[in-house]
Amino acid sequence: MARVNRVQIDEAIANFQYEGVLTEEKPYGSGHINDTFLLTFKIAEMGTMKVILQRMNKEIFTNPVELMENIVSVTSFLRDKIEKSGGDPERETLNVIPAADGKPYFVDYKGEYWRSYKFITDAACFDQVEKPDDFYQSALAFGNFQRLLADYPADTLHETIVGFHDTKARFQTFQDAVKADVCGRAKEVQKEIDFVLSHEDVANVFGELQEKGEIPLRVTHNDTKLNNIMIDNVTGKGICVIDLDTVMPGLAMNDFGDSIRFGASTAAEDEQDLSKVSCDMDLFEIYVKGFLEGCGGKLTPKEAELLPMGAKVMTFECGMRFLTDYLEGDHYFKIHREGHNLDRCRTQFKLVEDMEKKWDIMQSIVKKYQR
């Protein structure tokens, strides 16, 4: 994505429904996908107001209009639920600021799409778990997100990235990559290829259950990392789920599973010493407890029972995607060294193996907290 220029920023600022005088503007956050700025406005004698201004990444999200339709629809629904329960909708959900023409986005002279949100004050995001309670708070918040949206008609949302967690289709893409072997790398990684092929049932399990009508379609976040939760500076509680770009129809188990894949691993995603890689059962239990509490009984017994499978499917899928990218020449995930995607895929497969060894423990933990 080309760098944003000064004219574009000024044009965007001029075309949203902002009040007051702009007193400060600075880049904000650690995200790599959108260009994000924090703006501060002085409003007469009423003090200051901060807002987020973002240029959306059209290369990844090819239909920004549909993406914003999803966000406006979901946040309006959440706002209504939060108000009715006596919460604070200004802090507990994102609030979209309309453009001058009333649309939830602005298109600049270069055809780039911009959006704006009210900034949530006195709260912060963390890129890494600093203490177990952070992980618990994120579980509670993502579970609460599921609870609040349990009666939202998920099938009315647009798919912002088509087939994002269609693990069966990704398995086929992987097989095609092995067959094509465009970089001549397949012979070096036969062990990893065999691992994927021996886990075809993991790729198919959720698709088959959906076809039988055994698991419902939900509104899912699809990027359930800790840094997508705003944590209150005073109470330490998770108050708001942010980064709703990938909110679309999906499965609750996948949202749960992605958190475990990333947050309960004892090592970095690209750790080369596989002896350091395992799924921490204490962190797994903390997350199960928080997620099921947050869900407030809105998951079906079948969904709750399948939470460990969600962790396994998401970890397997991610490893398979890293391996596919390695076989295709590292064109999707950014690499910082030779064989980087291969290292990443190996950590994920080691995690899958570790989960398989601890399967009975994972299932008993879920049963302990099931309502």
- DSSP codes joined into one string, 264-289: SBSS-TT-S-GGG--B-HHHHHHHHH
Tell me what pLDDT residue 32 has. Answer: 66
Tell me what pLDDT residue 46 has. Answer: 81
Tell me what pLDDT residue 223 has. Answer: 92
Alpha-carbon distances of 78 from 75, 138, 164, rounded to whole Å: 5, 18, 24
For residues 23 and 48, is the Cβ–Cβ distance under 8 A?
Answer: yes
Tell me what pLDDT residue 294 has. Answer: 97
Tell me what pLDDT residue 60 has. Answer: 83
Residue burial 65-99, b: 16+ Cβ < 10 Å; e: rest = eebbbbbbbbbebbbebbeeeebebebbbbbbbeb
Domain with CATH 3.90.1200.10 in the chain: 132-369
- CATH architecture of residue range(s) 132-369: Alpha-Beta Complex (3.90)
User: DSSP 3-state helix, strand, coil percentages of the chain (rounded to 5)?
Assistant: 50, 15, 35
The residue among 237, 228, 236, 220 whose CA lies nearest residue 29 is 228
Instruction: State residue 343 phi and psi, 5-degree precision.
Output: -60, -45
The residue among 89, 82, 148 whose CA lies nearest residue 118 is 89
Tell me what pLDDT residue 135 has. Answer: 93
Domain with CATH 3.30.200.20 in the chain: 6-121
Half-sphere exposure for 215 (CA within 13 Å, toward CB): 23
Along the 371 residues of the chain, how does pLDDT read in single tens digits? 678 999 999 999 999 999 999 999 999 976 667 899 999 999 988 889 999 999 999 988 999 999 999 999 999 999 999 999 999 999 999 999 999 999 999 999 999 999 999 999 999 988 777 788 999 999 999 999 999 999 999 999 999 988 888 999 999 999 999 999 999 999 999 999 999 999 999 999 999 999 999 999 999 999 998 889 999 999 999 999 999 999 999 999 999 999 999 899 999 999 999 999 999 999 999 999 999 999 999 999 999 999 999 999 999 999 999 999 999 999 888 889 999 999 999 999 999 999 999 999 999 999 999 87
Question: Could you tell me the pTM of the whole model?
Answer: 0.93
Tell me what pLDDT residue 1 has. Answer: 67
The residue among 92, 97, 89, 95 whose CA lies nearest residue 115 is 97
Tell me what pLDDT residue 128 has. Answer: 77
Token couple for 331:
């064109």
Q: What superfamily does domain 6-121 belong to in CATH?
A: Phosphorylase Kinase; domain 1 (3.30.200.20)
Tell me what pLDDT residue 59 has. Answer: 86
Question: What is the spatial order of strands in the sheet that 123-124 belongs to?
Answer: 123-124, 229-232, 238-241
